[in-house]
Every structure is written in C-alpha cells, then in structure tokens.
C-alpha cells in the first residue's frame, strides 16, 4: 500500500505551503498504525464468515435429519446413511420385481385353472416350531398292553 503524505520541504522556510510528494526511502519506514489492526480485523472477519457458513451447513443437515429428508448434502456428509439408502433402494427394487413376478404367476395359474389354496404353508405351524405334544394314554385303552416283567 503506497501512501502519499504532505510534508514540508526542508530547504524552504516554515511559512511555505506543504507540498505533495511521494514517500522517500526514509519515510517508507513510517507504518500506518491502524494497518495491523485492519489486517487482524480482516482475518477475524474471514474466520467469522467461515464459521457462519459451517454453522449454516450444520443447521441444514440437522433440519434434514429431523425431517428424514435424505438430500444429497446429507448423504455426502454421512456415508453410512448413503450406503444404507443405496441398500434400501436395491431392496425396494427387488420387492417390486418379486411382486410383479407373483402377480404374473397368479395370472398364469388362474388361466390354467390352478387355484390358490387357502391352507397354511407347510413351513408354518400353529404353535411355532415346537412339536405337537401327544396325549398320554390311559390304562385300558386299545393298544395299551402291559408287558410282562
């Protein structure tokens, strides 16, 4: 930054007006006393702007998380969420394909006259995975023979 100062000409008498001159090598050593404060103020202003931008970004991310909005900014910031979303999208696509396949198969079966049974599938049991308990036989029923000892 070049400053021009009005300085008195040393060869003239003190009553003459001040003249505009450029700084000489001796006068360049004079430093603006506010320049360091201005530089520091600019530095802190820049840091404030960076922090304000970071805060605004964090607030947008928090708002997106609260509203369950998986926008690109949130997915970019949280790769775990992006990975889970991609897996979820794949599964939704597979579900859609399976539903279409089932609908086509049901249509073909109806056309062939094959009805869908209303029975429970063999894999499901009424009481879960536990085996059905047999009733204990009472004495005197058919098939209950006493063995000789």
- Domain map (residue ranges) of the chain: 33-71, 78-115
Sequence-distant (≥ 6) Cβ neighbours of residue 1 within 8 angstroms:
32, 35
Three-state DSSP at 126 gives coil
pTM of the model: 0.42
Q: For position 89, what pLDDT does the model report?
A: 95
Residues 75-103, mean pLDDT to the nearest whole number:
95
Cβ proximity of 35 and 1 under 8 Å: yes
Report the chain's terminal Cα–Cα distance, integer Å.
121
Q: For position 2, what pLDDT does the model report?
A: 46
Place of tokens 């702007």: 49
Better-scored residue on pLDDT, 145 or 99: 99
From the centroid of its chain, how far is CA 84?
A: 10
Among 1-10, 76-85, 129-138, name the one with the lowest average pLDDT: 1-10
Better-scored residue on pLDDT, 99 or 135: 99
Better-scored residue on pLDDT, 114 or 53: 53
Residue 64 to residue 76: CA distance in whole angstroms: 13
**Mean pLDDT, rounded, of the chain:** 76
Residue 135 token pair: 């009733």
Does 39 have pLDDT greater than 50?
yes
Confidence of residue 149 (pLDDT cuts 50, 70, 90): low
């Amino acid at each position: 930054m070049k400053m021009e100062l009005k300085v008195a000409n040393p060869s003239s008498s003190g009553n003459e007006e001040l003249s505009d001159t450029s700084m000489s090598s001796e006068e360049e050593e004079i430093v603006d006393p506010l320049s360091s404060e201005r530089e520091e103020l600019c530095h802190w202003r820049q840091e404030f702007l960076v922090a304000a931008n970071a805060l605004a970004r964090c607030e947008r991310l928090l708002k997106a998380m609260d509203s369950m909005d998986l926008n690109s900014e949130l997915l970019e910031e949280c790769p775990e969420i992006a990975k889970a979303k991609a897996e979820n999208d794949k599964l939704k696509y597979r579900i859609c394909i399976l539903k279409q396949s089932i609908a086509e198969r049901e249509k073909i079966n109806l056309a062939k006259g094959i009805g869908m049974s209303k029975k429970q599938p063999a894999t499901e049991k009424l009481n879960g995975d536990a085996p059905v308990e047999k009733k204990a036989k009472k004495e005197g029923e058919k098939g209950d023979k006493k063995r000789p000892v």
